[in-house]
Protein backbone atom coordinates (compact mmCIF):
# COMPACT_ATOMS: atom_id res chain seq x y z
CA UNK A 1 0.00 0.00 0.00
CA UNK A 2 1.58 3.33 -1.02
CA UNK A 3 1.93 6.07 1.61
CA UNK A 4 -1.08 8.31 2.06
CA UNK A 5 -0.52 12.07 1.91
CA UNK A 6 -3.08 14.12 3.76
CA UNK A 7 -3.58 17.54 2.29
CA UNK A 8 -5.75 20.18 3.85
CA UNK A 9 -8.83 21.04 1.81
CA UNK A 10 -10.79 24.26 1.93
CA UNK A 11 -14.34 23.82 0.59
CA UNK A 12 -15.69 26.98 -1.03
CA UNK A 13 -19.24 27.87 -2.03
CA UNK A 14 -19.51 29.48 -5.46
CA UNK A 15 -21.94 29.99 -8.28
CA UNK A 16 -25.66 30.63 -8.33
CA UNK A 17 -26.16 30.56 -4.56
CA UNK A 18 -23.51 33.24 -4.14
CA UNK A 19 -24.95 35.34 -6.99
CA UNK A 20 -28.33 35.17 -5.27
CA UNK A 21 -26.72 36.53 -2.09
CA UNK A 22 -25.68 39.68 -3.98
CA UNK A 23 -22.07 38.89 -4.95
CA UNK A 24 -21.99 39.84 -8.64
CA UNK A 25 -18.76 37.95 -9.41
CA UNK A 26 -20.16 34.67 -8.06
CA UNK A 27 -17.64 34.33 -5.23
CA UNK A 28 -17.38 35.72 -1.73
CA UNK A 29 -14.36 37.85 -0.71
CA UNK A 30 -13.36 35.04 1.66
CA UNK A 31 -13.34 32.53 -1.21
CA UNK A 32 -11.20 34.82 -3.36
CA UNK A 33 -8.74 35.38 -0.51
CA UNK A 34 -8.47 31.65 0.19
CA UNK A 35 -7.69 30.76 -3.42
CA UNK A 36 -5.19 33.57 -3.80
CA UNK A 37 -3.39 32.42 -0.66
CA UNK A 38 -3.25 28.77 -1.77
CA UNK A 39 -2.64 29.16 -5.51
CA UNK A 40 -4.65 26.11 -6.54
CA UNK A 41 -8.34 25.29 -7.06
CA UNK A 42 -10.26 22.10 -7.90
CA UNK A 43 -13.61 23.30 -9.17
CA UNK A 44 -16.89 21.67 -10.09
CA UNK A 45 -19.29 23.11 -12.67
CA UNK A 46 -20.72 26.46 -11.57
CA UNK A 47 -24.06 27.88 -12.69
CA UNK A 48 -24.42 31.55 -13.59
CA UNK A 49 -27.98 32.93 -13.35
CA UNK A 50 -29.44 33.67 -16.79
CA UNK A 51 -30.86 37.03 -17.74
CA UNK A 52 -29.57 38.97 -14.71
CA UNK A 53 -26.72 40.81 -16.43
CA UNK A 54 -24.02 39.01 -14.45
CA UNK A 55 -20.85 37.49 -15.87
CA UNK A 56 -19.97 33.78 -15.88
CA UNK A 57 -18.20 32.91 -12.62
CA UNK A 58 -16.10 30.37 -14.56
CA UNK A 59 -14.77 33.00 -16.96
CA UNK A 60 -14.38 35.52 -14.14
CA UNK A 61 -12.18 33.12 -12.18
CA UNK A 62 -9.94 32.34 -15.15
CA UNK A 63 -9.52 36.00 -16.03
CA UNK A 64 -9.18 37.36 -12.49
CA UNK A 65 -6.28 35.02 -11.75
CA UNK A 66 -4.77 35.14 -15.23
CA UNK A 67 -4.91 31.42 -15.90
CA UNK A 68 -3.92 32.17 -19.46
CA UNK A 69 -3.56 28.60 -20.79
CA UNK A 70 -6.49 26.19 -20.85
CA UNK A 71 -5.05 22.71 -21.44
CA UNK A 72 -7.57 20.10 -22.58
CA UNK A 73 -6.41 16.53 -23.26
CA UNK A 74 -8.40 14.11 -25.42
CA UNK A 75 -7.31 10.47 -25.62
CA UNK A 76 -8.82 7.24 -26.82
CA UNK A 77 -10.13 5.32 -23.80
CA UNK A 78 -10.57 1.58 -24.25
CA UNK A 79 -14.11 0.69 -23.28
CA UNK A 80 -15.46 3.97 -24.64
CA UNK A 81 -16.56 3.11 -28.15
CA UNK A 82 -16.38 5.79 -30.85
CA UNK A 83 -16.28 5.90 -34.64
CA UNK A 84 -12.50 6.16 -34.46
CA UNK A 85 -11.99 3.36 -31.93
CA UNK A 86 -14.03 1.08 -34.20
CA UNK A 87 -11.78 2.06 -37.11
CA UNK A 88 -8.64 1.43 -35.06
CA UNK A 89 -7.58 5.10 -35.20
CA UNK A 90 -6.05 6.18 -31.87
CA UNK A 91 -6.53 9.76 -30.70
CA UNK A 92 -4.08 11.62 -28.47
CA UNK A 93 -4.79 15.34 -28.82
CA UNK A 94 -3.94 18.26 -26.57
CA UNK A 95 -5.78 21.51 -27.20
CA UNK A 96 -4.25 24.62 -25.63
CA UNK A 97 -6.77 27.44 -25.62
CA UNK A 98 -5.90 31.05 -24.82
CA UNK A 99 -8.01 31.73 -21.76
CA UNK A 100 -8.10 35.47 -21.03
CA UNK A 101 -8.65 37.56 -24.17
CA UNK A 102 -10.63 37.46 -27.42
CA UNK A 103 -14.39 38.05 -27.31
CA UNK A 104 -14.39 36.57 -23.80
CA UNK A 105 -13.48 40.06 -22.64
CA UNK A 106 -17.26 40.48 -22.83
CA UNK A 107 -16.96 44.16 -23.81
CA UNK A 108 -20.13 44.87 -25.76
CA UNK A 109 -22.16 47.94 -26.66
CA UNK A 110 -25.31 48.78 -28.59
CA UNK A 111 -24.21 51.47 -31.06
CA UNK A 112 -27.70 52.00 -32.41
CA UNK A 113 -30.97 50.21 -31.66
CA UNK A 114 -30.08 47.85 -34.54
CA UNK A 115 -26.30 47.49 -34.19
CA UNK A 116 -24.39 45.67 -31.45
CA UNK A 117 -20.61 45.77 -31.11
CA UNK A 118 -18.29 43.29 -29.38
CA UNK A 119 -14.64 44.20 -28.94
CA UNK A 120 -12.10 41.45 -29.56
CA UNK A 121 -8.78 41.88 -27.79
CA UNK A 122 -5.73 39.90 -28.89
CA UNK A 123 -2.50 41.11 -27.28
CA UNK A 124 1.11 40.29 -28.06
CA UNK A 125 2.09 39.56 -24.41
CA UNK A 126 -1.05 37.50 -23.79
CA UNK A 127 -0.50 35.50 -26.98
CA UNK A 128 3.13 34.89 -26.07
CA UNK A 129 2.19 33.58 -22.62
CA UNK A 130 -0.14 30.88 -23.91
CA UNK A 131 1.92 30.00 -27.00
CA UNK A 132 5.13 29.65 -25.00
CA UNK A 133 3.30 27.43 -22.52
CA UNK A 134 2.07 25.28 -25.43
CA UNK A 135 5.59 24.86 -26.81
CA UNK A 136 7.06 24.06 -23.38
CA UNK A 137 4.32 21.54 -22.69
CA UNK A 138 4.70 19.95 -26.13
CA UNK A 139 8.45 19.61 -25.64
CA UNK A 140 8.06 17.94 -22.22
CA UNK A 141 5.35 15.66 -23.62
CA UNK A 142 7.65 14.53 -26.42
CA UNK A 143 5.29 15.81 -29.08
CA UNK A 144 6.26 15.71 -32.74
CA UNK A 145 4.02 18.53 -33.97
CA UNK A 146 2.45 21.74 -32.72
CA UNK A 147 -0.18 23.51 -34.81
CA UNK A 148 -1.63 27.01 -34.58
CA UNK A 149 -5.32 27.16 -35.46
CA UNK A 150 -6.39 30.61 -36.65
CA UNK A 151 -8.55 32.73 -38.96
CA UNK A 152 -5.83 35.16 -40.01
CA UNK A 153 -7.05 35.05 -43.61
CA UNK A 154 -10.05 37.14 -42.47
CA UNK A 155 -9.05 38.69 -39.13
CA UNK A 156 -5.69 39.81 -40.42
CA UNK A 157 -4.77 42.02 -37.47
CA UNK A 158 -6.09 40.09 -34.45
CA UNK A 159 -5.57 36.49 -35.55
CA UNK A 160 -2.66 37.78 -37.62
CA UNK A 161 -0.94 38.94 -34.43
CA UNK A 162 -1.56 35.57 -32.72
CA UNK A 163 -0.09 33.73 -35.71
CA UNK A 164 2.88 36.10 -35.90
CA UNK A 165 3.73 35.46 -32.24
CA UNK A 166 3.36 31.69 -32.80
CA UNK A 167 6.10 31.67 -35.42
CA UNK A 168 8.28 34.03 -33.37
CA UNK A 169 8.17 31.60 -30.44
CA UNK A 170 8.57 28.58 -32.75
CA UNK A 171 12.09 29.74 -33.66
CA UNK A 172 13.16 28.91 -30.11
CA UNK A 173 12.00 25.28 -30.46
CA UNK A 174 13.64 23.98 -33.65
CA UNK A 175 13.07 20.33 -32.70
CA UNK A 176 9.28 20.75 -32.87
CA UNK A 177 7.48 20.80 -36.19
CA UNK A 178 5.45 24.02 -36.09
CA UNK A 179 2.72 24.73 -38.64
CA UNK A 180 -0.64 26.47 -38.90
CA UNK A 181 -4.12 25.64 -40.19
CA UNK A 182 -7.13 27.90 -40.81
CA UNK A 183 -9.74 26.88 -38.24
CA UNK A 184 -12.49 25.79 -40.63
CA UNK A 185 -9.99 23.52 -42.39
CA UNK A 186 -8.75 22.35 -38.97
CA UNK A 187 -12.26 21.36 -37.88
CA UNK A 188 -12.78 19.39 -41.08
CA UNK A 189 -9.44 17.59 -40.65
CA UNK A 190 -10.12 16.84 -36.98
CA UNK A 191 -13.35 14.99 -37.76
CA UNK A 192 -11.73 13.00 -40.56
CA UNK A 193 -8.11 12.40 -39.44
CA UNK A 194 -7.64 13.48 -35.81
CA UNK A 195 -4.63 11.20 -35.49
CA UNK A 196 -2.64 13.61 -37.68
CA UNK A 197 -2.59 16.24 -34.92
CA UNK A 198 -0.74 16.34 -31.63
CA UNK A 199 -0.80 19.75 -29.90
CA UNK A 200 -3.02 22.55 -31.20
CA UNK A 201 -2.97 26.10 -29.81
CA UNK A 202 -5.79 28.55 -30.56
CA UNK A 203 -7.37 31.81 -29.50
CA UNK A 204 -10.07 31.72 -26.83
CA UNK A 205 -13.38 31.35 -28.70
CA UNK A 206 -11.94 29.14 -31.44
CA UNK A 207 -10.24 26.99 -28.81
CA UNK A 208 -13.50 26.60 -26.89
CA UNK A 209 -15.33 25.36 -29.98
CA UNK A 210 -12.51 23.08 -31.14
CA UNK A 211 -12.11 21.47 -27.72
CA UNK A 212 -15.82 20.60 -27.52
CA UNK A 213 -15.53 19.11 -30.99
CA UNK A 214 -12.56 17.03 -29.81
CA UNK A 215 -14.57 15.81 -26.82
CA UNK A 216 -17.00 14.33 -29.31
CA UNK A 217 -14.15 12.41 -30.95
CA UNK A 218 -13.36 10.49 -27.74
CA UNK A 219 -16.87 9.86 -26.44
CA UNK A 220 -18.28 13.16 -25.26
CA UNK A 221 -17.84 15.86 -22.64
CA UNK A 222 -17.96 13.19 -19.93
CA UNK A 223 -14.35 12.36 -20.88
CA UNK A 224 -12.98 15.89 -21.30
CA UNK A 225 -10.73 17.19 -18.48
CA UNK A 226 -9.07 20.58 -18.36
CA UNK A 227 -6.44 22.53 -16.48
CA UNK A 228 -6.33 26.34 -16.38
CA UNK A 229 -2.68 27.28 -15.98
CA UNK A 230 -1.36 30.61 -14.72
CA UNK A 231 1.91 31.85 -13.28
CA UNK A 232 0.45 32.17 -9.77
CA UNK A 233 -2.83 30.25 -9.64
CA UNK A 234 -4.06 27.10 -11.43
CA UNK A 235 -7.65 25.87 -11.70
CA UNK A 236 -8.61 22.26 -12.49
CA UNK A 237 -12.13 21.53 -13.73
CA UNK A 238 -14.08 19.42 -16.22
CA UNK A 239 -14.78 20.96 -19.63
CA UNK A 240 -18.51 20.37 -19.30
CA UNK A 241 -20.82 22.81 -17.58
CA UNK A 242 -23.75 22.27 -15.26
CA UNK A 243 -26.61 19.87 -16.00
CA UNK A 244 -29.57 21.03 -13.89
CA UNK A 245 -31.86 18.53 -15.61
CA UNK A 246 -30.05 15.58 -13.98
CA UNK A 247 -29.16 17.23 -10.66
CA UNK A 248 -29.78 14.92 -7.72
CA UNK A 249 -30.46 11.87 -9.91
CA UNK A 250 -27.03 10.28 -9.29
CA UNK A 251 -26.56 9.48 -12.99
CA UNK A 252 -23.77 11.90 -14.04
CA UNK A 253 -20.55 10.61 -15.57
CA UNK A 254 -17.75 11.64 -13.16
CA UNK A 255 -14.87 10.69 -15.47
CA UNK A 256 -14.06 14.20 -16.76
CA UNK A 257 -13.89 15.64 -13.25
CA UNK A 258 -11.83 12.67 -12.07
CA UNK A 259 -9.35 13.14 -14.93
CA UNK A 260 -9.12 16.83 -14.05
CA UNK A 261 -8.37 15.87 -10.47
CA UNK A 262 -5.58 13.56 -11.66
CA UNK A 263 -4.04 16.49 -13.52
CA UNK A 264 -4.11 18.41 -10.22
CA UNK A 265 -2.36 15.52 -8.42
CA UNK A 266 0.39 15.49 -11.05
CA UNK A 267 0.65 19.28 -10.79
CA UNK A 268 1.47 19.00 -7.06
CA UNK A 269 3.87 16.09 -7.56
CA UNK A 270 1.68 13.16 -6.49
CA UNK A 271 2.60 11.20 -9.60
CA UNK A 272 2.22 7.77 -8.00
CA UNK A 273 -1.22 8.54 -6.58
CA UNK A 274 -2.35 9.92 -9.94
CA UNK A 275 -1.07 6.83 -11.80
CA UNK A 276 -2.72 4.41 -9.37
CA UNK A 277 -6.12 6.10 -9.73
CA UNK A 278 -5.73 6.46 -13.52
CA UNK A 279 -4.95 2.74 -13.85
CA UNK A 280 -8.04 1.89 -11.81
CA UNK A 281 -10.17 4.12 -14.02
CA UNK A 282 -8.78 2.62 -17.23
CA UNK A 283 -9.27 -0.91 -15.87
CA UNK A 284 -12.87 -0.02 -14.95
CA UNK A 285 -13.61 1.30 -18.43
CA UNK A 286 -12.02 -1.76 -20.07
CA UNK A 287 -14.18 -4.03 -17.94
CA UNK A 288 -17.30 -2.54 -19.53
CA UNK A 289 -18.51 -0.64 -16.48
CA UNK A 290 -20.37 2.44 -17.63
CA UNK A 291 -22.68 5.28 -16.75
CA UNK A 292 -25.74 5.84 -18.91
CA UNK A 293 -24.11 8.22 -21.40
CA UNK A 294 -21.70 5.72 -23.01
CA UNK A 295 -20.83 2.09 -23.51
CA UNK A 296 -22.68 -1.04 -24.54
CA UNK A 297 -26.38 -0.28 -24.15
CA UNK A 298 -27.04 -4.02 -23.70
CA UNK A 299 -25.23 -3.82 -20.35
CA UNK A 300 -26.94 -2.15 -17.40
CA UNK A 301 -25.69 1.35 -16.59
CA UNK A 302 -24.24 2.13 -13.17
CA UNK A 303 -25.22 5.22 -11.28
CA UNK A 304 -22.54 7.72 -10.29
CA UNK A 305 -21.97 6.22 -6.83
CA UNK A 306 -21.72 2.68 -8.19
CA UNK A 307 -19.31 3.75 -10.94
CA UNK A 308 -17.01 5.49 -8.43
CA UNK A 309 -17.17 2.46 -6.07
CA UNK A 310 -16.14 0.22 -8.97
CA UNK A 311 -13.09 2.42 -9.63
CA UNK A 312 -12.18 2.28 -5.93
CA UNK A 313 -12.52 -1.50 -5.93
CA UNK A 314 -10.16 -1.66 -8.91
CA UNK A 315 -7.35 0.31 -7.23
CA UNK A 316 -4.14 -1.66 -7.64
CA UNK A 317 -5.24 -3.39 -10.85
CA UNK A 318 -3.42 -2.86 -14.16
CA UNK A 319 -5.31 -2.08 -17.38
CA UNK A 320 -4.40 -3.83 -20.62
CA UNK A 321 -4.03 -0.52 -22.44
CA UNK A 322 -2.37 2.73 -21.39
CA UNK A 323 -1.19 1.60 -17.96
CA UNK A 324 0.67 4.35 -16.09
CA UNK A 325 3.96 3.51 -14.32
CA UNK A 326 3.74 3.96 -10.56
CA UNK A 327 6.26 6.76 -10.26
CA UNK A 328 7.50 8.03 -6.93
CA UNK A 329 5.46 10.74 -5.29
CA UNK A 330 7.35 13.99 -4.83
CA UNK A 331 4.81 16.26 -3.17
CA UNK A 332 5.16 19.91 -4.09
CA UNK A 333 3.40 22.66 -2.19
CA UNK A 334 2.34 25.29 -4.73
CA UNK A 335 4.26 28.52 -4.31
CA UNK A 336 2.29 31.12 -2.39
CA UNK A 337 2.65 34.57 -3.90
CA UNK A 338 2.05 37.89 -2.20
CA UNK A 339 1.80 40.48 -4.92
CA UNK A 340 2.01 44.16 -4.07
CA UNK A 341 0.65 45.39 -7.41
CA UNK A 342 -0.87 44.11 -10.62
CA UNK A 343 1.76 42.66 -13.01
CA UNK A 344 2.06 44.66 -16.22
CA UNK A 345 2.91 42.55 -19.26
CA UNK A 346 4.06 44.36 -22.39
CA UNK A 347 6.55 43.98 -25.20
CA UNK A 348 9.15 46.44 -26.40
CA UNK A 349 7.87 48.97 -28.95
CA UNK A 350 10.39 48.59 -31.77
CA UNK A 351 9.07 51.25 -34.17
CA UNK A 352 7.82 54.77 -33.62
CA UNK A 353 4.06 55.13 -33.35
CA UNK A 354 2.09 57.83 -35.08
CA UNK A 355 -1.60 58.71 -35.39
CA UNK A 356 -2.73 59.25 -38.99
CA UNK A 357 -6.48 59.70 -38.62
CA UNK A 358 -9.56 58.06 -37.14
CA UNK A 359 -12.48 55.80 -37.90
CA UNK A 360 -15.76 57.43 -36.89
CA UNK A 361 -18.69 55.08 -36.34
CA UNK A 362 -21.82 57.15 -36.89
CA UNK A 363 -25.55 56.56 -36.83
CA UNK A 364 -27.41 57.49 -40.01
CA UNK A 365 -30.32 56.29 -42.13
CA UNK A 366 -29.10 58.23 -45.15
CA UNK A 367 -27.50 56.96 -48.34
CA UNK A 368 -23.67 56.75 -48.49
CA UNK A 369 -23.24 59.72 -50.84
CA UNK A 370 -25.25 62.00 -48.57
CA UNK A 371 -23.21 60.82 -45.56
CA UNK A 372 -20.03 61.63 -47.51
CA UNK A 373 -21.33 65.06 -48.57
CA UNK A 374 -22.03 66.00 -44.94
CA UNK A 375 -18.52 64.96 -43.87
CA UNK A 376 -16.75 66.66 -46.77
CA UNK A 377 -18.50 69.94 -46.13
CA UNK A 378 -16.10 71.81 -43.90
CA UNK A 379 -13.57 68.97 -43.50
CA UNK A 380 -10.14 70.20 -42.42
CA UNK A 381 -7.89 70.44 -45.50
CA UNK A 382 -5.23 68.36 -43.74
CA UNK A 383 -7.53 65.32 -43.95
CA UNK A 384 -9.20 63.18 -46.59
CA UNK A 385 -12.36 61.12 -46.31
CA UNK A 386 -10.91 57.82 -47.56
CA UNK A 387 -13.78 55.36 -47.33
CA UNK A 388 -17.21 54.75 -45.85
CA UNK A 389 -18.23 51.19 -45.03
CA UNK A 390 -21.34 49.53 -43.66
CA UNK A 391 -20.95 46.30 -41.68
CA UNK A 392 -17.36 46.17 -42.95
CA UNK A 393 -18.18 46.51 -46.67
CA UNK A 394 -17.16 49.64 -48.57
CA UNK A 395 -20.13 51.64 -49.87
CA UNK A 396 -18.29 54.90 -50.74
CA UNK A 397 -16.51 56.17 -52.87
CA UNK A 398 -17.44 53.02 -54.73
CA UNK A 399 -19.72 50.14 -53.90
CA UNK A 400 -22.92 48.46 -55.02
CA UNK A 401 -26.58 49.33 -54.57
CA UNK A 402 -27.12 45.64 -53.87
CA UNK A 403 -25.31 45.99 -50.54
CA UNK A 404 -27.91 46.08 -47.75
CA UNK A 405 -27.33 48.86 -45.25
CA UNK A 406 -27.92 49.16 -41.52
CA UNK A 407 -28.14 52.50 -39.71
CA UNK A 408 -24.49 52.70 -38.74
CA UNK A 409 -21.50 53.61 -40.92
CA UNK A 410 -17.75 53.54 -40.39
CA UNK A 411 -16.23 56.70 -41.86
CA UNK A 412 -12.45 56.65 -42.26
CA UNK A 413 -10.69 60.01 -42.24
CA UNK A 414 -6.93 59.97 -42.79
CA UNK A 415 -4.31 62.70 -42.86
CA UNK A 416 -3.03 63.38 -46.36
CA UNK A 417 0.05 61.30 -47.10
CA UNK A 418 -0.51 59.57 -43.73
CA UNK A 419 1.36 62.40 -42.05
CA UNK A 420 1.30 62.35 -38.24
CA UNK A 421 -1.52 64.19 -36.54
CA UNK A 422 -2.27 64.99 -32.92
CA UNK A 423 -5.10 63.89 -30.67
CA UNK A 424 -6.15 67.55 -30.54
CA UNK A 425 -6.65 67.48 -34.32
CA UNK A 426 -8.67 64.28 -33.99
CA UNK A 427 -10.79 66.04 -31.38
CA UNK A 428 -11.44 68.84 -33.88
CA UNK A 429 -12.56 66.20 -36.40
CA UNK A 430 -14.84 64.76 -33.74
CA UNK A 431 -16.39 68.19 -33.17
CA UNK A 432 -17.03 68.48 -36.91
CA UNK A 433 -18.57 64.99 -37.09
CA UNK A 434 -20.81 65.43 -34.05
CA UNK A 435 -22.43 68.48 -35.64
CA UNK A 436 -23.91 66.34 -38.41
CA UNK A 437 -24.15 62.83 -36.86
CA UNK A 438 -24.50 60.95 -33.64
CA UNK A 439 -20.97 59.57 -33.22
CA UNK A 440 -21.36 56.09 -31.71
CA UNK A 441 -17.68 55.27 -31.35
CA UNK A 442 -14.23 56.31 -32.56
CA UNK A 443 -10.97 54.44 -33.14
CA UNK A 444 -7.61 56.08 -33.80
CA UNK A 445 -5.70 55.01 -36.91
CA UNK A 446 -2.21 54.12 -35.69
CA UNK A 447 0.91 53.26 -37.67
CA UNK A 448 4.25 51.83 -36.52
CA UNK A 449 6.88 52.76 -39.05
CA UNK A 450 5.24 51.97 -42.39
CA UNK A 451 2.97 49.29 -40.92
CA UNK A 452 -0.71 50.20 -40.64
CA UNK A 453 -2.46 49.17 -37.44
CA UNK A 454 -5.90 49.03 -39.03
CA UNK A 455 -7.66 46.87 -41.59
CA UNK A 456 -9.17 47.74 -44.95
CA UNK A 457 -12.90 47.54 -45.66
CA UNK A 458 -14.18 44.73 -47.86
CA UNK A 459 -13.94 46.02 -51.42
CA UNK A 460 -11.67 48.94 -50.55
**96 near 70, Cβ under 8 Å?**
yes
Render the burial of 212-246: b for 16+ CB within 10 Å, e for the rest.
bbbbbbbbbbbbbbbbbbbbebbbbbbbbeeeeee
Q: What is the pLDDT along the chain (460 residues), one digit of tens a residue?
A: 444 555 667 777 777 777 777 777 778 888 888 889 889 999 888 776 665 566 777 888 898 899 999 999 999 999 999 999 999 999 999 999 999 999 988 899 999 999 999 999 999 999 999 999 999 999 999 999 999 999 999 999 999 999 999 999 999 999 999 999 999 999 999 999 999 999 999 999 999 999 999 999 999 999 999 999 999 999 999 988 777 778 888 989 999 999 999 999 999 999 999 999 999 999 999 999 999 888 888 889 999 999 999 999 999 999 999 888 888 888 877 777 788 899 899 998 888 999 999 999 999 999 999 999 999 998 999 999 999 999 999 999 999 999 999 999 999 999 999 999 999 999 999 999 999 999 999 999 999 999 999 999 998 8
Fold of 353-452: Alpha-Beta Plaits (3.30.70)
Q: Which of 267, 289, 283 is nearest to 316 (CA)?
A: 283
Are 52 and 37 contacting, i.e. CB atoms less than 8 angstroms apart? no
Domain boundaries, the chain: 16-313, 353-452
CATH 3.40.50.1010 fits 16-313, yes or no: no
Cα 350 → chain centroid: 28
Q: What is the pTM of this model?
A: 0.91
Q: Does residue 116 sit in helix, strand or coil?
A: strand
- DSSP code, position 397: S
Amino acid sequence: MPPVFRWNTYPLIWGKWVFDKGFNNGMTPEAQQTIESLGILFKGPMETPKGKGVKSVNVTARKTWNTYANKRVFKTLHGVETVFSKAGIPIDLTIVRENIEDTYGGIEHMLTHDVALSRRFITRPGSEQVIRYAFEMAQKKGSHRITCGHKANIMKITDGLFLEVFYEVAKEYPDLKADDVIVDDLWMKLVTRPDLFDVVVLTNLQGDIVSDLCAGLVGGLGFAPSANIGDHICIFEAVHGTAPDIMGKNIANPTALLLSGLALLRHVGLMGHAARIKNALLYTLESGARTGDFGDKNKPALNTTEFIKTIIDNLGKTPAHGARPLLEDKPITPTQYKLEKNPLIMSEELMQEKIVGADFFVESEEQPQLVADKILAGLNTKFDLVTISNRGTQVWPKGSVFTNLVNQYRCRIESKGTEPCSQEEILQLYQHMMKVFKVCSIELLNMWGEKKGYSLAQGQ
